[in-house]
Structure 1
């Protein structure tokens, strides 16, 4: 029974891996291999522009596919849009640059090409999809039509010209349990503010209030006032100021013991992961230091 369960888990993992969106470069490698399978040796292949929201992305997809096909096959002669004759470009592509399939076939025929590749890159379901079309020039029919899902990454955002657009500031609340307790642990609530100085580094301030529910003889309230600096190590989505982070913090802890005020130096570090969705963020965080020893909680808020 246990062995069957393990096999089922393995099958589910393999299935999910198979359908998971791949990175831009991983996808273009697959596209190049699919195209090469349809090409004959010494044939001429025209790689037309792939329509996309940004010229830089269009150029990258076209040139990367051309380079990969040349590297993998070496025998296929490749012609790309920028290598076409200037007169042909002026006559046929002088308007918007978006051409019909009939025009594409006509240009390919004049170049003596056997097939032509073109397509479209567009946003879909939080990621991207690359639609690839390959036409047989002589028959004016598709050799294949295929769509490839691509995950969002720092590279896709940079090529789309979105790298400079990001939410630098965030403010939110954190719910936590920590060791600001003499006997056990303390529940706490706090306000957290962060401001990004770069795409992966931010500074901020935390105010965290803990109440010792388990101290029976005294009333203990702790208010932590902390300055923070945070470095984001990995961002799976490519979004600035998101993903896995390390954080250093320091400041003062104010202790109200039976209404009498005392204070202590506060220093420590934290590790966490910030999930983002548009202007909203959620982040589980674990911290350790002095005098609180440890804390674990979840923060959530808005970015602007």
Structure 2
């Protein structure tokens, strides 16, 4: 079957199945279970109206249970077995993982990513959003800064691999060093600790555009009356920005911050493409990937640890988003 015909058939079956499900479920609810006739008609209508929303939610709940809840419990169960899945070892994979120096390095690097990338992306996004709002060509500048968001992480990593290349004819950093009289070129991706910062620059470059767009919209929502009142009281541009605008958009800043934090905890493509986790750049997702095809139980244990780290941040993000509604 051709892909086009297969796609059309899938859409037809999916849409038709949904329509048939909702029609049949409502018929059963209104005609069979709670018919709107007889002495109990009013009570049956109320009961049917209480159940009807769950009929609409049931397909989504089943999909979430199948593709989200079940894999979580399945992954945790798998992490309690050995590499072949034949022997139950309890929390043995977790004990081995916690005692592995490479895991501690990955955890430390992940902490650095969480502390630096969201803060830098949010800061630069907020700064650019404020500055471009005052420029005549601000829309063009925002479009250019947002452009990296359209690039995949692997594509962005390959672009920056040329920037960091250990060759003054290709690498921008080494070309600058040669221009200042340095003879020997350096590979910045092999310098301990600093190579992590060079990798973080890539994600900051990508996520600054996202932060800028969200925070620019929030800044435009600040009431002009408060700004005019501050100016009449003698506040300068910096004071207006930090004392008037920033406090009013703080919930949006927190949402942007936590959204980027969740992304950082799951980032894998950049590290894997640039260094493969070598030279002290290992992070939890790349550490998990290194065991994926040789020790499934240990890799699943790392995946479960990542989920436990992401979960509180996600809950906090949802709560902050609800406060803005």
More strand by share: 1
Greater relative contact order (Cα < 8 A, sep 6+)? 2
Compare CA radii of gyration and give the structure with the larger one. 1
More helix by share: 2
* TM-score class, shorter: under 0.3
Per the normalisation by structure 2, the TM-score is: 0.20
Per the normalisation by structure 1, the TM-score is: 0.21
